[in-house]
Amino acid sequence: MDRDLYSRLRKRMLMFYFAAGINLVMALWVASMGAGQVAGGTLAIILLLFLGFAALNFYMARVLRRQWDEHVRKSAASRTAQSDEVTE
């Protein structure tokens, strides 16, 4: 059961990292192509949007990772508590 949960969470984390990478590439592309063609304020707004979504994607991947780590700690603690009850 934990293996299935981990594989699903891992796929989601990789999806978030991939989306963050795409957003970073798009921000760089917009910055390089739009520097002379678009007003500075408009370019800054577009760049901030792409960078904001990239940061959000990285954050969501980290949240999923922390949730998985917390799940592993809780399950290890419960197994330890159960094994202590059996030996007493």
Please calculate the CA angle 82-2-14 and round it to the nearest 5 degrees.
145
* 69 located within any domain: yes
Which pLDDT value is given to residue 86?
Answer: 66
* 5 located within any domain: no
Which pLDDT value is given to residue 88?
Answer: 60
pLDDT along the chain (88 residues), means of 10: 85 96 96 87 94 97 93 87 69
Which pLDDT value is given to residue 28?
Answer: 95
The amino acid sitting at 28 is L
Which pLDDT value is given to residue 1?
Answer: 59
* 46 located within any domain: yes
Range of the domain at 36: 10-82
Whether pTM > 0.85 for this model: the answer is: no
Q: Round to whole Å and give the CA distance between 43 and 36.
A: 10
Q: Please tell me the total count of domains within the chain.
A: 1
Which pLDDT value is given to residue 34?
Answer: 85
